[in-house]
Amino acid sequence: MALTQVQDGMLGYDGGSFANRNRIINGDMRIDQRNAGASYTQVNGAYSLDRWSGNSYDGGAATSKFSVQQSTTAPAGFSNSLLVTSLAATADSGDDIFNIEQKIEGFNSADLDFGTASAKTITLSFWVRSSLTGTFGGAVKNSARDRAYPFAYTISSANTFEYKTITIAGDTSGTWVGATNGTGLWLSFGLGVSSNRSDTAGAWAGGDLFSSTGATRVIGTSGATLYITGVQLEAGSVATPFEHRQYGQELALCRRYLPAYNPGSSGSLGSGMCITTSSAMIFVPFDVPARVAPNGLTVSSASHFLCWQSNTVGTTPTSIALNQATSNAGLLYPQGMSGLVAGNATHLLTSNSAAQILFNGCEL
């Protein structure tokens, strides 16, 4: 370990290796496979930047309340942050939940031993900036949504990045997912959470909580902003420096939850066989095994792709569907071509720099 004893019995960091400390993936907000930096209007329960989702709930699914965008405004040592912008002044409905959150897979949190007498202390640290000042909140909770630890932090200066640390004693009660691919730990940063979804900061409580009582409502002020980056959650009572993983490592971690292909204007997704004169089956192996088998596709546009048969000029499909998938590969079904010969080999190529295919349904 790279902790050393310093004056007054405190633990300090000596700059040594602390690999795999951070349970958060994409905590520095570098990876944005879905939107590539474009602004996204939050839909209830949907994902924006990789691994980060959000709720937009106001007694029901609420639309056009806040946007999320990968930003280049960041503190020293970071290149990106996640930017939330309030799109309307939304009053408390009594049952609203507006937040940004990340669910940590059970395989990555089981060693914390939550729900047992051996539960480990954890420390959350992050950089945050807002156009507002005051007390803000969030929560850590279980997948059963009946045990939660609301926390609070203060932003003292508007439009200035501030570093926050919160130490949380592990929960010895409740039901917590162990070493499975389910949700082991749930981290929420509140943007505006009703009183019946909040509780006093600083202690474990029963209930489905997303923030602390009395927290500032970012979505209560139209145009208000909140930036966050450098999010780290680790075992222990000491906040160590942010774990900067190599880009390729972080991207691979993200692709367990979102297999994505952005091959550019001259890339190849996979090979297969012509089924009819107008359709084909294309096998696409995943770079990283997915958490679970995908259940659908998001395709930038079928017109961004070509099916190339032998030496014949490629033809453009009118649609591309997911035929079947495992956690290791997907079988694509492009249709609407012409001139194919059933039984011939074929390749699915890209013809546009905006070409993208996302395999959906692997997130927690």
Q: What is the domain-level CATH number for residue 201?
A: 2.60.120.260
Question: Is the same domain home to 286 and 208?
Answer: no
CATH number of the domain residue 306 falls in: 2.40.10
Name the strand (E) or helix (H) holding 92. none
Contacts of residue 111, defined as CB under 8 A and 6 or more positions apart, other chains included, come to 120, 235
Give the three-class secondary structure for 97: strand
pTM value surpassing 0.85: yes
Quote the CA–CA distance of 334 and 340 in Å, as a whole number: 12
Question: Is the same domain home to 231 and 293?
Answer: no
Question: Is the same domain home to 323 and 297?
Answer: yes
Residue 267: predicted pLDDT: 82
Residue 62: predicted pLDDT: 94
Question: Is the same domain home to 302 and 282?
Answer: yes
User: Phi, psi at residue 150, to the nearest 5°?
Assistant: -70, 140
* Residue among 66, 56, 100 nearest 221 (CA): 66
Question: Is the same domain home to 73 and 181?
Answer: yes
Domain final position from 213, 230, 255: 255
Instruction: Give the N- to C-terminal CA distance of the chain in Å, as an integer.
Output: 31
Question: Is the same domain home to 135 and 245?
Answer: yes
Query: In DSSP terms, which residues pair with 83 in a beta bridge?
Result: 69, 227
Question: Is the same domain home to 74 and 25?
Answer: yes
Domain final position from 255, 279, 304: 255
Residue 310: predicted pLDDT: 73
β 211-212/198-199 pair status: parallel
Which residues of the chain register pLDDT less than 50? 1-17
Question: If you write DSSP's letter for every residue of 199-267 in order, what string do you get?
Answer: E-TTS-EES---EETT---GGGSTT-EEEEEEEEEEESSS-PPP----HHHHHHHHHTT--EE---TT-
Which structural domain range is residue 265 located in? 260-360
Q: How many domains does the chain have?
A: 2
Question: Is the same domain home to 154 and 249?
Answer: yes
Domain final position from 255, 279, 309: 255
Question: Is the same domain home to 232 and 270?
Answer: no
Greatest distance between any 2 Cα atoms in the chain: 79
Q: Which two tokens stand for residue 178?
A: 């162990």
Quote the CA–CA distance of 334 and 321 in Å, as a whole number: 6
Quote the CA–CA distance of 31 and 335 in Å, as a whole number: 31
β 147-155/134-141 pair status: antiparallel
Question: Is the same domain home to 176 and 31?
Answer: yes
